[in-house]
Structure 1
Amino acid sequence: MVNVYADEAIISSSSATVTKEEYQQLLDVMFTPEQRADIFANERKLRELLADVYVSKVLANQAKAQGLDKTKEFKLRQEYDTERLLSQSMLEKAVDEVKKPNFETAAREKYLANKEQFKVPEQVHAEHILIATGNVRDENEAKARAEDVYKKALKTPEAFKKLAQEYSDDPSVKNNSGDLGFFSKDKMVKPFADAAFTLKAGQISSPVKTQFGYHIIHLVEKKAAGQQTFDEVKEPLIEQAKADFMGDIRRQKVESIRAASDVKFNPDALRTFIEKNVEKK
């Protein structure tokens, strides 16, 4: 096979070098095809990962130069890490060798058996202006200010976002201009939710008092309660079915090892081991 990269360096210094071939091999080993596609679609993520690889190589070279790879502690950790990686590889092999079920069928069965989980409550899309109380201003001042802003909103409802930018004390107004998007009733404090869900699309509430202050609410639209279709939730359900299947296979492999007939546990040895370590303290 022709080496298309010819070991061209992506990042290098007098301390370490990472070549295209090395980086490709690492990505191939460490990530699934889906994960690699996500990484390659985001150059920033690719650069950050490359920087991590480079720094690791520099530190590893420094450690070798100081003989840290020759210490007893390092060799024990290296042996443990090797066994851990090999055990993971064995579990992955066990999953690969098992015939896979139809994950979409499994996902559909889960959906049909748990349709209640996929009900969507009534939601509203609202904007708000917060006139805060407490350290910002006293109760009377806040109420008067809220009433004034409410009158302005009634006169020019189409300018509600501009009013929010000018008057709202909600810190998020800088990013959303008071737009809260869609939310269900349980996501907001009760006085606010009760008022928002009472409004009709286009209506603006008089000031609503909560523990945060006074809110002027503009209802943009309502979305009736409903049921998510299987197609709407299919992809995450399929991914969950795959994860559950692989987890079951791994657990079965581990349990078969633990339950093997030739496994002998010596409680006395464990007890003396504990006692000796307690004495060291």
Structure 2
Amino acid sequence: MRNMILAAGLLASAVAGAAGNPDADTLVVSQGVARVTLGDVDAYVHRIPETDRKGFVAKPERIETMLRNMLLDKQLADEALKLGLDKDPIVQQQIALATENALSRARMEKFRASLKAPDFSEQAQEDYLANKKKYTIPKRYDVKHILFDIKSRTPDQAAALANETAAKLAKDPSQFDSLVESLSDDQSKKDNHGLIENAASESFVAPFADAARRLENIGDISPPVRTVFGYHILKLVSTAPEQLQPYEKVRESIISRLQAEWMEARIREKIDGLRNETMNPQPEVLATLRERYGKIEEPPAGPAASEPVKQP
């Protein structure tokens, strides 16, 4: 196993740039009669979308699993050939379908590579000017919170503790930080002392983020707020106003998005053009398909099948 993982780790760097590798016959691993070459690995990896390949080969355990599966397939294929299963008409059709599937993927990769996106610089600026809200960083709310979780107590018990603590804070808000340390069940408090930055962002569950947004002034303390984690009491410690990002900061990301949208539109047009060609079905053959692969049992006729079930 250790040798296999080591081989996988060494393979990761080799495969990442293996397109057109002249060493296609170089042996990677063997087992019994099975041999996996760099050419085999190239063919396997090229079935993975290009954007995901580097991530795939970056993890040795994925490569090990891939190599073990390829070895198993080759061993079983060798047994199948010895048994003459390649002569079976159904197997021959399956091989033909697999060939067509590989050619289909290759054609789409070739088509995608042939696309040259136009210059979207002008459209990017128009998009920026027309959708400034999209490129505006929302108002930031930094809060501290006290959590009464519902893992170690019932929801009613957590609510009672939260309400009791809220009453204490209403009389003396200066206790908030000390109550974070003594009462909060948030395990991260030992590092952040209850501080949650950008608490109104989409990173947080909606009730928590909504409660943060409702705090208006520094030092404001929320009533208890229920989330899936329990009950929280929030205190606003700082804010930052919403800010429109400069065009130059977002320009490249807008252009990249517009290019990707253009590419996907061209690919959809290509696929839709082929799919929308006239089909010529053979009704008499289609009608036989249901019974060709096993007769489907029809539900029994009569009242039991047609009448609605009555409540007792």
Please tell me whether the aligned partners of residues 158 and 231 of structure 2 are also in contact (alpha carbons under 8 angstroms).
Answer: no
Q: Does 1:252 align with 2:269?
A: yes
* TM-superposition CA deviations, 1:61-93 (whole Å, max 9, x none): 232144186354444333223222322322333
Residue 197 of structure 2: SS of its match in structure 1?
A: strand
Matched to 2:73, the amino acid is A
| 3-state secondary structure, aligned to 2:215 | helix
Question: 1:277 and 2:289 equivalent?
Answer: yes
**Equivalent pairs, count:** 263
CA contact under 8 A between 2:139 and 2:241: conserved in structure 1?
A: yes
Give the structure 1 partner of residue 9 of structure 2: none
Q: 1:100 to 1:65 in 2, by over 3 A?
A: same
2:280 is matched by which residue type in structure 1? N
Which residue of the partner structure matches residue 198 of structure 1? 216
Are residue 7 (structure 1) and residue 17 (structure 2) matched? no
Per-residue CA shift, 1:91-138, capped at 9, x if unaligned?
333343344312444444433343333333322022211235771526
Which protein is richer in helix relative to its size? 1
| 1:132-143 correspondence runs (5 A) | 132=149, 135=154, 137=157, 139-143=159-163
- Asked if structure 2 preserves the Cα contact closer than 8 Å seen for 1:204 and 1:218, the reply is yes
Q: Percent identity?
A: 23
TM-score (norm 1): 0.68
Cα 1:140–1:87, aligned 2, differ >3 Å: closer, same or farther? closer
Q: Equivalents in 2 of 1:210, 1:156: separation in Å? A: 16
CA contact (8 A) 2:162 2:232 kept: no
What is residue 164 of structure 2 aligned with on the other side? 144
**Is 1:224 aligned to 2:236, yes or no?**
no
Q: Which stretches in structure 1 are left out of the alignment for 5+ residues?
A: none
Normalising by structure 2, we get a TM-score of 0.63
Alignment match of 2:196 (pick from 180, 183, 191): 180
Structure 2 residue aligned with 1:64: 77
Aligned to 2:280: 266
Contact 1:126 1:180 in 2 (8 A): yes
User: Partners of 2:261 and 2:209 in 1: how far apart?
Assistant: 41
1:57 Cα deviation (Å)?
A: 1.2
Taking only aligned residues, the RMSD between alpha carbons, in angstroms, comes to 4.4
C-alpha separation between the residues in 2 aligned to 1:195 and 1:220? 12
Distance 1:251 1:117 in 2: 26
